[in-house]
């Protein structure tokens, strides 16, 4: 009886470290995750475009365990007056959710809100005249709302961070 139990027990003991090592490696995000997150949440068009490209190919970034979820512009319209603000709001959500997850939200909130404003103004640059002025005013209103209320779950769809 001892020999019948010994062989399966040896097999389990020998495979357990490999299974645990693989599971541990799979759950650990790459060391450059903070740098990648930072590069995708800057105010520049280059940063915005890099994030849009990554969002379109999320599978390539799965090891980083980023939170790509979004409620877009939360309780505000995603496309107010026909202005397509939805993608800018999604990037803003990405920044909020991932910096909260990293525990560094407060240190980055101001830049995330500024990046939203720059993204919205880039949308508005596609218009001219009174339409552009209306878009710019709407962008400023959205920015001002997240600047003031950005710690609220109504703005980012997550738990409040005070």
Would you give the DSSP letter of residue 58?
G
Would you give the DSSP letter of residue 79?
S
Q: Which of 66, 70, 90, 92 is catalytic?
A: 92
Please, are residues 81 and 123 in contact by the beta-carbon 8 Å criterion? no
Describe the chain by its helix, strand, coil percentages, rounded to 5: 70, 0, 30
Is 92 one of the annotated active-site residues of the chain?
yes
Cα–Cα dist 127/143, whole Å: 19
Cα–Cα dist 136/122, whole Å: 9
How many of the other CB atoms lie within 10 Å of CB of 116? Answer: 28
Kindly list the catalytic residues: 92
């Amino acid at each position: 009886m001892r020999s019948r139990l010994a062989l399966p027990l040896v097999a389990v003991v020998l495979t357990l470290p490999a299974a645990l090592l693989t599971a541990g490696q799979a759950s650990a995000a790459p060391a450059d995750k903070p740098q990648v997150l930072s590069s995708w949440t800057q105010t520049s068009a280059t940063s915005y475009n890099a994030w849009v490209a990554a969002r379109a190919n999320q599978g390539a970034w799965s090891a980083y365990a980023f939170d790509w979820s979004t409620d877009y512009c939360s309780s505000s319209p995603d496309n107010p007056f026909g202005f397509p603000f939805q993608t800018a709001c999604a990037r803003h959500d990405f920044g909020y959710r991932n910096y909260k997850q990293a525990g560094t939200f407060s240190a980055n909130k101001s830049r995330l809100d500024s990046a939203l404003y720059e993204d919205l103004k880039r949308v508005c640059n596609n218009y001219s005249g009174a339409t552009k002025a209306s878009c710019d005013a709407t962008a400023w209103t959205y920015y001002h709302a997240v600047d003031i209320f950005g710690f609220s779950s109504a703005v980012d769809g997550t738990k409040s961070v005070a």
